């Protein structure tokens, strides 16, 4: 099955923390509301090292410098000890020692496990770059975060549902669609019932939704244009890799073939859809 790998900003963290992926600087995604003047000592008095302290997660930076929080980030924090070491906590199953960290002006560097991270640290507010344009924002309890534009994931998705392009979501398309059959080279193979949760689309009536592949999932927004289904990442970027139509509870997702290969058509259906129009040639 050839579909995009659903990795969200809130799932990437665990993979990067101690797995060997390296972070790199991405200043365009850092929260611009952080103060420009360096005064970290004011937010961590008496530690001996002005940047030392406990930094708790605020959220992930998304377009327009929104800092969006999520329940999936619960338990994300790090402690910077005065001796240049510390501990990193990215959820219950991803914790480990910080072997070194340093601050040069407002430039922050850290090594945890075999991963290197960079970012910005100023007045107790840390923008930690995870690479691939993912930036997490942490802050000490004493830091002034009033200048940051923060919202919950629910508020962010609601704002996208109100402002995303391509018209409105047709409530008739809403529902949960699971993989039913795959067609290519003139053959249409029915997916065994026990494997049908491997790919699913959940389309909510308000224009929000989710795609689930195996055990991974990604939030999205959606719109309709006639019988066409238009998908968008939470950043507002169109997901145009596939041509998707929906009629009477049947989703027809076309994966275009390359280098002479045939197109692949994936059929996803709702629970009550009439699947008799799908011409099955091979059953499990």
- Give the residue-averaged pLDDT of 75-83: 93
In a domain, 158, yes or no: no
Phi, psi of 158 (to 5 degrees): -65, -40
Average pLDDT of the segment spanning 202-206: 90
Q: How far apart are CA 235 and CA 59, in angstroms?
A: 15
* Residues 111 and 186 reside in one and the same domain: no
In a domain, 7, yes or no: no
**Rounded to an integer, what distance in angstroms lies between the CA atom of residue 113 and that of residue 86?**
11
The DSSP symbol for 181 reads E
Q: Are residues 115 and 178 in the same domain?
A: no
184 and 118 in a single domain? The answer is no
Number of domain units in the chain: 2
Of 24-33, 172-181, 222-231, minimum mean pLDDT range: 24-33
- Which of 128, 152, 176 is the last residue in one of the domains? 152
pLDDT given for residue 245 in this prediction: 94
Alpha carbon distance, N-terminus to C-terminus of the chain: 17
Strand pairing of 66-69 and 53-62? antiparallel
d(CA 222, CA 172): 13
Calculate Rg over the CA atoms of the chain: 23
| SS3 at position 150 | strand
For residues 109 and 133, which has the higher predicted lDDT (pLDDT)?
109
All residues at 6 or more sequence positions from 160 whose CB lies less than 8 Å from its CB, including other chains? 208, 221, 232, 234, 236
Instruction: Verify that 136 and 199 share a domain, yes or no.
Output: no
Q: What is the C-alpha separation between 84 and 254, in angstroms, rounded?
A: 52
Q: Beta partners for 216? A: 213
d(CA 10, CA 134): 9
Domain ranges, residue 119:
12-152
Given a cut of 80, is residue 72 above it in pLDDT? no
Do 62 and 184 lie in a common domain?
no
Cα–Cα distance for residue pair 63/193, rounded to 1 Å:
40
Length of the chain: 284
d(CA 113, CA 99): 7
- Regarding whether 270 and 181 lie in a shared domain, the answer is yes
Is 269 a residue whose pLDDT tops 80? yes
For residue 258, what is the domain's CATH number? 2.40.128.280
Q: 47 is written with which tokens?
A: 């530690």
Determine the pLDDT at residue 6: 31
Q: How far apart are CA 121 and CA 128, in angstroms?
A: 8
pTM greater than the 0.85 cutoff:
no
> Cα(122)–Cα(105) distance, rounded to whole angstroms?
8
Report pLDDT for 2: 28
Which residues make beta-bridge pairs with 129? 118, 135
Place of tokens 């338990």: 75
Considering the domain boundaries, does residue 126 fall inside one?
yes
Instruction: Select from 105, 130, 152 the last residue of a domain.
Output: 152
C-beta of residue 135 within 8 angstroms of C-beta of residue 27 = no
We report the CATH number of the domain holding residue 54 as: 2.40.128
**pLDDT of residue 193 exceeding 60:** yes
Rounded CA-CA distance 80/108 in Å is: 12
Q: Could you tell me which of 64, 103, 77 has the C-alpha nearest to residue 13?
A: 77
* CA 170 to chain CA mean position, Å: 25
Residues 68 and 42 reside in one and the same domain: yes
- Is the separation of the CB atoms in 12 and 130 below 8 Å? yes
Whether residue 138 sits in one domain with residue 26:
yes
273 and 184 share one domain? yes
What is the pLDDT at residue 201? 94
pLDDT the model gives residue 35: 36
Tell whether the model's pLDDT for residue 33 goes beyond 90.
no
Q: Is residue 82 part of a domain?
A: yes
Asked if residue 226 is part of any domain, the answer here is yes
What's the pLDDT score for residue 276?
94
């Amino acid at each position: 099955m050839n579909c995009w790998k659903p990795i969200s900003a809130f799932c990437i963290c665990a993979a990067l923390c101690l797995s060997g992926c390296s972070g790199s600087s991405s200043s365009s995604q850092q929260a611009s509301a952080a103060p420009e003047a360096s005064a970290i000592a004011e937010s961590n008095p008496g530690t001996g090292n002005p940047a030392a302290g406990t930094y708790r997660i605020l959220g992930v930076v998304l377009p327009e410098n929104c800092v969006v929080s999520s329940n999936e980030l619960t338990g994300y924090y790090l402690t910077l000890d005065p001796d240049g070491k510390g501990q990193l906590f990215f959820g219950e199953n991803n914790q480990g020692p910080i072997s070194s960290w340093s601050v040069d002006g407002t430039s922050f560097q850290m090594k945890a496990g075999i991963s290197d991270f960079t970012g910005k640290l100023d007045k107790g507010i840390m923008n930690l770059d995870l690479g691939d344009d993912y930036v997490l924002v942490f802050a000490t309890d004493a830091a002034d975060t009033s200048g940051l534009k923060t919202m919950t994931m629910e508020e962010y998705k609601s704002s996208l549902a109100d402002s995303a392009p391509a018209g409105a979501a047709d409530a008739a398309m809403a529902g949960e669609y699971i993989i039913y059959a795959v067609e290519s080279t003139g053959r249409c193979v029915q997916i065994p019932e026990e494997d049908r949760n491997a790919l699913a689309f959940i389309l909510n009536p308000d224009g929000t939704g989710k795609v689930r592949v195996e055990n991974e999932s990604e939030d999205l927004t959606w719109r309709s244009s006639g019988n066409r289904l238009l998908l968008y990442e939470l950043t507002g970027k169109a997901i145009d890799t596939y041509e998707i139509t929906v009629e009477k509870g049947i989703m027809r997702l076309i994966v275009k073939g390359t280098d002479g290969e045939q197109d692949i058509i994936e059929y996803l259906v709702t629970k009550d859809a009439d699947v008799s129009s799908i011409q099955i040639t091979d059953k499990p």
